[in-house]
Structure 1
Amino acid sequence: MFFSLNVVQELDKRVVTHTRDNKIYIGWLRSFDAFTNLVLEGAVERLIVKNKYAEIPLGLLFIRGETISTISQLPPGAEALGNLQKAALEDIILDYKEEQERARRDEFSLREHLADKGLTYEGQLDESWSL
């Protein structure tokens, strides 16, 4: 209930939402429910790689409450987010895929290293993924 009261204050404001799978969505908060499911209008997914970013336009977006880690109001004029530079979407997507692949390899190596020592690691890597 307390969380719902805080979200009410953000209705019809531009918000940035971080999800548990490390995605960033920005849009106008139009609706939410008791499960913190959100509806964002004019939503974009922001991809950030190193000091560059690009946005993928999504339009109307429904985000399940169980995937949300943070919601905060985006102040007017805060679109650039510090020292980040806007870049072409195609370039960012290539860099983003390379970064994700590198992270998956690092996580896979960590899992193998821990398995050699009799330990397990529960990260974000799907069990079906392998090198």
Structure 2
Amino acid sequence: MRPVPLEKPLVVLRDGRKLIGILRSFDQFANLVLKDTTERRYVGDAYGDIPRGIFIIRGENVVLPGENHRIWPLRKVPVEEPLQVQRQEMEARLKRDKIKNRLLSDQGSSVDPTEDGELY
């Protein structure tokens, strides 16, 4: 009799990260321990995996635990590609936010960015 392969569940966290790993332990508070964990980054129809090892997740950070099913055809790419695209998207969003805050400030809004562009 062959051993049954261990299913690797997908866990979505509050901060948006998606983790896939072997479920080693859980409790009534949804605290999880994942072994051989990878963080999966999606961009369009592609994804890249970042190996993370053992992950201990506090239950309050779990949004969705579930099976790791392929819903649509995705292609696996080196992780640098999704990371680069996400970095570019973040830079574009920060640039838009900076322009928006400047326009709101010019119109008398209470937005008061500090010298380095941070709001807080």
TM-score for both structures, normalised by structure 1: 0.65
Moved more, 42-51 or 97-106: 97-106
Matched, 1:89 2:79: yes
CA distance in 2 between partners of 1:58 and 1:83 (Å): 24
CA distance in 2 between partners of 1:54 and 1:100 (Å): 18
Pick the aligned partner of 1:36 from 15, 30, 34: 30
Equivalent residue, structure 2, for 1:59: 53
Note if contact 1:15-1:28 (Cα within 8 Å) is conserved in structure 2. Answer: yes
Would the alpha carbon gap of residues 53 and 118 (structure 1) be closer, same or farther in structure 2, given more than 3 Å must change?
A: same
CA distance in 2 between partners of 1:112 and 1:59 (Å): 43
Gaps spanning 5+ residues in structure 1: where? 1-11, 121-127
Gaps spanning 5+ residues in structure 2: where? 1-5
Would the alpha carbon gap of residues 51 and 106 (structure 1) be closer, same or farther in structure 2, given more than 3 Å must change?
A: farther
Counterpart code for 1:130: E
CA distance in 1 between partners of 2:10 and 2:88 (Å): 25
Matched, 1:68 2:100: no
Q: Which has the higher helix share?
A: 1
Q: Give the greater-gyration-radius structure (CA).
A: 2
Pick the aligned partner of 2:41 from 47, 58, 61: 47
Q: 1:60 Cα shift? A: 0.8
Q: 1:113 Cα shift? A: 7.4
Would the alpha carbon gap of residues 113 and 28 (structure 1) be closer, same or farther in structure 2, given more than 3 Å must change?
A: farther
Equivalent residue, structure 2, for 1:102: 92
**Alpha carbon RMSD of aligned pairs, Å?**
3.0
TM-score for both structures, normalised by structure 2: 0.70
Moved more, 94-103 or 60-69: 94-103
CA distance in 1 between partners of 2:57 and 2:46 (Å): 25
Note if contact 1:48-1:96 (Cα within 8 Å) is conserved in structure 2. Answer: no
Q: 1:118 Cα shift? A: 6.6
Would the alpha carbon gap of residues 97 and 72 (structure 1) be closer, same or farther in structure 2, given more than 3 Å must change?
A: same
